[in-house]
Amino acid sequence: MRQPFCVARFLVTAATTAILAAGLAGCKTAGMSDITGSIGTRAEASPASPPVDPVRDIGVYGERFRANPRDADAAMRYGQALRANGQRAQAVSVFEQATLNNPGNKALMAGYGRALADAGNFERAFEVLGTAHSPANPDWRILSAQGAALDQMGRHDEARRYYDNALKIRPEEPSVLSNLGLSYMLSKDLPLAEATLRRAQQGRGTVDPRVRQNLGLVVGLQGRFSEAETIVRADLPPDEAAANVAYLKQMLSNKAGARFSGQDDAKRS
């Protein structure tokens, strides 16, 4: 059974990052999570699924990378596997070396930015992500990632400009709308956060269930727990639904004193 949910920051790049109400430091997440695939999973920066078996991939691609540190594809896959396995500092090191060995490789720069954000270095992540595309050829995934990094630094108005630009390229993209909704949550505008997350839930294609979980939290934070419970139970197996509801109760138990924070839960798991 998967872990109970936390507020998932969809940096496409990541997620990630988790955005939490104060007092919820026990929440564990898988880092800066993707909803539609990662930036630059392959050397050509096309979206792809995260590693199926990170431990296996660490062994396979780590060996390839050590044999040839200039192998961009091996570096990308190795770094992604490290991130998926929670080895954040090592992932940063691999991506940093890879970008030095492959100057101008925007896919690797995007991976490096994501790894930096996983490690909590949001300012540097924002800078590096900015080099992974150009104003003449903007990437909505990277714009969303930059917005999420700005939110983590408490720069919410700036973050929303990046989300708006991403949505001009990819209208009604659920992952971007989810980040935007959580940005409103951070600035305590819960009705607007809810409205935005509902847009995300109704967005194009298959919507990641974490959008629904985030919506449930925002609804619960407004005192509508029964409705929030219905939202987080939807379309889940009974054991996962029960785990999510239990965790929602745990998070909302601190509602009375909750103040929203732009920091991760102890820098996340």
pLDDT value of residue 256: 39
pLDDT at 246: 86
Which residues are CB-neighbours of 205 under 8 A, at least 6 positions away? Answer: 174
- What is the torsion angle, in degrees rounded to the nearest 10, for the CA atoms of residue 96, residue 57, residue 178 and residue 260? -70
Cα(84)–Cα(87) distance, rounded to whole angstroms? 8
- Count of C-beta atoms within a 10 Å radius of residue 156: 16
Domain parsing of the chain, residue ranges: 1-36+156-269, 40-138
Structure tokens that stand for 233 in this block: 């139970």
Q: Identical fold at 1-36+156-269 and 40-138?
A: yes
CATH number of 1-36+156-269: 1.25.40.10
Q: Determine contact, residues 7/217, Cβ cutoff 8 Å.
A: yes
For 252, residues 6+ apart whose C-beta sits below 8 A from its C-beta are: 217, 220, 221, 225, 228
Architecture of the domain made up of 40-138: Alpha Horseshoe (1.25)
The span from the first CA to the last CA of the chain, in angstroms, equals 17
CA distance 89 to 83: 9
Residue 134, beta-bridge partner list: 137
And the tokens for 141? 């995934």
Residues of the chain with pLDDT under 50: 1, 3, 11-48, 256-269
